[in-house]
Structure 1
Amino acid sequence: MENGNQSEGKDPSTFLGEITGAPVTVKLNSGVVYQGELQSVDGYMNIALEKTEEYVNGQLRRSYGDTFVRGNNVLYIAAR
């Protein structure tokens, strides 16, 4: 369907580029949630975060300086 009306949604790579350096929430397939500053994302959805907090069942479990999350574990990334 090519009707020239693609402004309704954003390309995921465009969205991720716009939120680089911003606070994000990353939820893993296991249910674990990471909150931190997005530093980079590659084509495999591998994610680098800074100032990261890990939440398990809604409870803060650990705080990390830098965190690397492998892309195949990611359920979603949301800007905060």
Structure 2
Amino acid sequence: ELFPTRLRSTGTSFCYNVGRFVAALGPLVKVLLDKMYEGPNADRLTGVTMCGVFLVGLLVLPFLPETRGKALPE
């Protein structure tokens, strides 16, 4: 709904594949964070860091344009 009609499928596919690419990097990021946070709380700090990134994404959502009830541009 945020993309023009002629680019809607391309935009949707692009967003989907960017998410897949970022998800594929997840294990690598976990290993790097584990090396950065050494000690008994390494897993806990790694989890808190990764959850923090997720929460930043949630905080951005209210600032996206609302498309409910609006006509889709052609």
TM-score, length-scaled by structure 2: 0.31
State which structure, 1 or 2, has the greater radius of gyration over its C-alpha atoms.
2
Higher strand share: 1
TM-score, length-scaled by structure 1: 0.30
Higher helix share: 2
